[in-house]
Amino acid sequence: MLTHRNASLVLWLRMKHITLNAHRHRMTRSITLDCPHCPGTKEDIVHFILACPQYVRECHILRRKLRRQALNLPYLLSNSKAVTSLIDYIHSMGRLKATFGEVPNPNLIP
């Protein structure tokens, strides 16, 4: 079972209303669409979760857990095993810490 904060995180990812630069730029909260680590590349959900070279180590860990399914964004956002792994992944990245604070690890919640 997910905490309220983790459920909100997953919902916002599904709705693509998350504090990444592509969304913030649409809301006029950011002057750029670009990923802070990849100039010239739009920072959206797909780039953030699956493609950003800044998080290669974290992505490798996710891929070891979920194998081929780690590259399937709909699976990551809907399957219960994948969602907890995705939350761990986002926690290890630290990118959304300003919005969500310390994202609690779903595997450690009683």
User: Is pLDDT of 79 > 50?
Assistant: yes
| pLDDT for residue 52 | 94
CA-CA distance, 47 to 38, in Å (whole number)? 10
Which pTM does this prediction carry?
0.78
User: Is pLDDT of 98 > 70?
Assistant: no
- Residue 95: closest CA among 49, 28, 33: 49
- Give me the residue label for tokens 């604070």: 101
Residue bearing the bigger pLDDT, 96 or 38: 38
CA-CA distance, 12 to 67, in Å (whole number)? 24
